[in-house]
Structure formats: C-alpha cells, structure tokens
Structure 1
C-alpha cells in the first residue's frame, strides 16, 4: 500500500491538528505528555478541542482571538479550518440528513481535558433555556469518559455531581452570595473516578470536575457556563460575566435543576455502563454513551488487534487514537496514525479500515453528532 495525498472532497478521513484552548483553570501537563513533550507543564491551556467548528471567543479579554478552539486540517500545504472545509460542501462532509436538521453545524464538540486543579462548580442551560436566554439552538449536556489521571497533592482523581437530598434553591443562592465554597461543595456528591468510568451530565445538573482527571468530554457545541465561584481554586479572579454569562446574579439560578438524589441514586441516574456492540478475534467495539441515554451525541471505543473494517452510514464521525500505531486505509489511500492523532470522517466516506501496525492493541474513540437517522 502506498501513502497517497488526502482528498478534500469528502471521500477521505482527514487528520486534524490538535488545538489547545485557554480556560480559567490550570492543567494540560498530561496532554503535553501524550505528544512526547520532554518538559510537560500545567498552564491555562488544559483542553484540546477536537472536531471543533466553534471558537472560544466568550473568554473575557480574548474575544479578539477569533480562531481559538477551531480545528485546523493537518494536511500538507493546506491552511484551512474544519469549519471552512465543511462550508464548501456541507452534505458531503456532514451528510444530507444532518444538513437538513442542523444546517452547516456538526451539533457536537469533543474535548480532551487534563485538570491540575478542581474546576469551578458550574451548570449549563438546556436547549429550551439556551434558546430563551442566549438565543442559542444548543444547550450543554455533556458526557465525561475518563482515560487516565494523576494524584494532585496526594488526592486521587474525583468529581462532584448533583445535589444531595435537602438542598434548595434558596440555600444554594445564599451559599453563593456568601461565597461559602466548602458549603457549596458539601451540597454536591463527591466520587473518586478511574479510567473507563463514564458519566452523563445533563444540562442543569450542578457539577465540578476535580483535580487530577484526564478525560474525554463529548458535549453539545455550546460554551455557556454558569459558574459559582468568584475566585478559582488556584486564585484567578473570575470576571462577573464569566460567572453569570450576562444573566445577572439572580437570574443565573434559573439554569439549575433542583432535583435531589441520594448518592446511589445519583450514580444510577448519571453513571453510564459500557455495552459491547461487536467482538471478534480481530477487534471489538464498545458503546460508551449512546442515543438511548441522550439524543445529542454518541461515543464508542474500538480496540483493534489486527484489522477492522468500518462501514459508513451517511453521517460524519470523529476518531481519536488512544494508544498504538495504525494505518487508516480508504481504498488505495493510506494514512499513518499514532497515539494522540485525531481525524474527521466525512459522511461521504463509505468505509475505511483501521490496520494495527504494531504489537500493542490499537484503541480509538469514535465520536458521533446528534441522532439524525
């Protein structure tokens, strides 16, 4: 097989360059390590955005950086964003049904996240509130799939999810007004997390990713975040707009869902168990989050011992290589990929193969947009 030039007509998988995004929290050292950086460091770039056609221009004082967060093609001699490519021929890249329902939008965003500190407690609007309050067609339901982690100051990776029994809106607002951080944390359930754990975080549910987490987050493509802390755990002063997103300190509390559950009920509601979809001597595919849990996105993990053929079904997808080295084969076209590489698979790709090039099992995550079929 010969390595050939990638076509940009929607019939070839397309490599994307990693794009890091500025955030209010610190992290990113483990992401540096994925790329063999000999001096990995934590910074305010703790996220890598994948398959992204939206920018992070809601960050205060960074609105002028219009392309931050946008995925760029990793194709020799081509300087183009994925967004610009899709706009050239939306049906070829996204699929006819996707375009009919969502226009030129993928309807999904994927992030690789590494946290050196606990993220600020937060929640996101659902679609109804996003439309009403922000004139956005997307809310922000998200899903966390943990792929690694580290201890920070002796504390293993953890998350906070959902209100404990007895918490009320009045209590939650009073704790915010007093900036009683520990009081707010005590209102939420706390869980240690391990690689391969998966949580669905529906819009409106209060949450905070803890320190030491390395995860893939798949979500609706929105960056509307209601924050509860005026100073981040590392001491960064948070602008008022970043806290209430323009709603004000009273109306922002309309975003939260004030349902309360026990610790076990919370896990039952929002921790997702994997489901094996296919299994053979050569490969297996596991569904990590599916349309049965949410119509907004889907994610699977493919494990390749030798080779697997993947059939297209007229919708786009994304691919992220978790481990190993492989060839992505489409007809006579071959692309070599390794850990940390990401690809966009256009809707017009009828099929492709993942061929394991080494002794290590190739593991890859597949990302899908909202349900359209």
Structure 2
C-alpha cells in the first residue's frame, strides 16, 4: 500500500475537501452524483465552495454556523482549514506581492453551482457601494462558466442577464412592490446556455441563473445580494434582511445599474469567448476569463493528453478537475486526483506536473485571484 505524505508548508498542491453551502434555492443533485453519494437529491445545499476562506454569514437564521462554506484540507487524521493556513503563513501561501497589496485575503471565491430551480432575480454592489454601504473591501462582480446541466420539466438550462431597452428604475421598483415576478423576468434578456459558455456579470447588473444549470462561478469574495423576490420559485419565504441586506426596501434600488442594451448588445458585452494561450504535444491551456476583462479574477482551462508542466509564477491558484484521472507531481511528491477534486496551489509552488493517469483527457480549471499591481 502506497502511503501519500501531505506537506502543509506551502511546498506542494493541497487537496481540499468538498464543502457545501446553504442557499435559498434548491439544487445540488448533480454535485451529489459527482461525488458518488448514494441517493443523490436536490436540497438547499446546491453549491460547493472552493478555495474559500470566508463563510456564509449573510444567511438569516444561520449566523450561528460560523464555518459554513470554509474550505478544509482533505486530511484523514486532522481538521485544518485553508483559512488557518493562510493566516499563519500568508506569504508562503498567497505570495509576497499579493500580501503586500491585499493582505491575508485571497480576494476571490469559487463555487460549483447546480440549480434545480431558477435563482431569485438579484444583483450585487460594486466595490464603491460595498465600501460605502457595507464597509466591505469587496463588491461582487462574478463570472459564470458552464460545465454541464440538465433539463428541468422539459426546460433546457438558461439564464437571465441585463435590462432590456426601455426599463427604468421606477418601473423596476413598481414591479418589486407588486411582486410581479413574470413582469420582472420580462425586463431581462433570457439565454439558453450549454457547457463551454462563459458570461461575465459585473456588479449592479440584474441577473438570475435559471433551472438546470451546472456551472463554476468565480467571483469577488463577498455575499452581499439584493433580491427582488419575497418568495423563492419553490415557495420558500425570503426574510426581509436577505432581500435588502439591511438597506431597506427603498435604498436597495441604488445597487442596480440601469443601463439597458439590446439582446445582441448584451451578448457582445457580457459573453466571453475562449482564447487559446498555449498548445503543445496534445495539451493546451485556454483562457476563459482574463484580467483584460476584469481585474478581480482569472480562470483558464487546461487539457492534458499525456502530461503538462504548470508554472506557478509566484502567485497562488486553485485547480478543479473537470474530467479524467491524474497525478500531480511536485519534486518527489505525487498526489493522485480525479474528477471532482479541488486543490489549492500555494504561491510558493514554482511549478508542478499534471500527468494523465487514465484513458481520457484530463481537463481542469485553473482559478486565480485578483490582478496585482
């Protein structure tokens, strides 16, 4: 029997345990299936959080659960959170330049989301409003990369993004006051989505993930959400605080940006086309969202037929295995991983090898924090 030694000094990639988070909407069956859970089912735990050093403190009646959403190392003999490691050794794990600019925060959060129902229509504050209204360093610009999905009641996966031409703040508030949900949806552009699609959702833009979506969301690390519905599509009453986040039913409308675009303009503005960064010997890396579109995060996808050396460049990152079986090699250390595995790559890791250990190509997402100066 091979004994795998895991060093937690920042010298090698660290495998993280899956951590689920409670949400107001239903989903998660596909995430259960991904991890081989018997009798997979949809529930109020439709999200798996990755490389997370923040918890879900914005859920009403669940504030007492202090560590929900925090990532922990996948260790059999002890419980250690990624947050604990970062706070004790920030330079080794996050990098000298990152710590100098952002402190002991990763500045990013990643989620795997499986929606069995449409999410409530919502938006999030930008950094200026987040600092002014919530005393938060971070707003919540986010990016969706779709990795799968399913039909729900015969309806294919879909999303709602941005105001149609002619929508005004006064109209939007009146629809909220009347709780005319269909009227609200009719104000937004609806798009069917498929695996491989990527959308950037800037803070302030109204949006809703529809039913049947399986996606990886990379975002600024905050959980401030302004919701437009007082009841979820499945009938769950939403606490007033969850709707306005303490701002009240008038001031919450300051968070929305009321720019309007045609359907074509919206796609051109918010859908992101992939860009091949490198390709050699059957392996390649594709940029899905980069710093030229947003300074808040970056995400690439690597495809490995045989093996691929990945350079660290002195910055931390995350790795999420989309398909295949692989071994991560760092010096003399070897770490087997398979589909569904998530890892944190400390800044101190200068390079590592992804070696394909199976018959199908290994596909993995590389997940990066904010752009440094």
Under TM normalisation by the shorter chain, which class is it?
Answer: over 0.9
Q: Deviations over 1:250-283 (max 9, x none)?
A: 0000000000000000000000000000111231
The residue that corresponds to 1:183 in the other structure is: 183
Q: Secondary structure at the match of 1:258?
A: coil
Q: Residue deviations 1:98-120, cap 9 Å, x none?
A: 10111100000000000000000
Q: Report the counterpart of residue 253 of structure 1 in structure 2.
A: 253
Do structure 1's residue 8 and structure 2's residue 5 form an aligned pair?
A: no
**What's the counterpart of residue 171 of structure 2?**
171
Output aligned runs, 1:68-79, within 5 Å.
68-79=68-79
Q: Who is 1:47 aligned against? A: 47
Structure 2 residue 159 is the aligned partner of structure 1 residue 159: yes
Q: Please give the alpha-carbon distance, in whole angstroms, between the structure 2 residues aligned to 1:92 and 1:235.
A: 47
Distance 1:191 1:125 in 2: 23
Q: Give the match for residue 318 of structure 2.
A: 318
- Shift, 1:202, TM fit: 0.1
Please say which of residues 124-133 and 2-11 is displaced more in the overlay.
Answer: 2-11
Q: TM-score, normalised by structure 2?
A: 0.99
Please name the residue that 1:24 is paired with: 24
> What is the 5 A alignment of 1:194-213?
194-213=194-213
Q: Counterpart in 2 of 1:38? A: 38
Give 1:70-149 correspondences, 5 Å limit: 70-149=70-149
Preserved contact between residue 3 and residue 333 of structure 1 (Cα < 8 Å): no
Whether the aligned pair in 2 keeps the contact of 1:4 and 1:332 (CA below 8 Å) is no
Local SS of the residue matching 1:256 = coil
* Partner of residue 58, structure 1: 58
Aligned length: 372
2: distance between equivalents of 1:235 and 1:183?
18
The whole-number CA distance in structure 2 between the counterparts of 1:348 and 1:75 is 21
Deviation per CA, 1:48-83, whole angstroms, max 9, x where unpaired?
Answer: 000000000210110000000000011232311100
Task: Output the CA distance in 2 between the equivalents of 1:160 and 1:4.
Answer: 45
1:294 matched to which residue of 2? 294
1:222: how far off? 0.3
- Residue segments in structure 1 that go unaligned for 5+ positions in a row: none
SS of 2:172 mapped into structure 1:
helix
Residues 311 and 294 (structure 1 numbering): CA distance in 2 closer, same or farther, change over 3 Å?
same
- The structural deviation recorded for 1:3 is 5.7
- Structure 2, unmatched stretches of 5+, are none
Matches of 2:170 and 2:54 in 1, distance apart?
A: 35
- Contact kept, 8 Å, 1:125 with 1:255, in 2: the verdict is yes
Q: Distance in 1 between matches of 2:81 and 2:176?
A: 40
SS of 1:86 mapped into structure 2: helix
Distance 2:96 2:303 in 1: 29
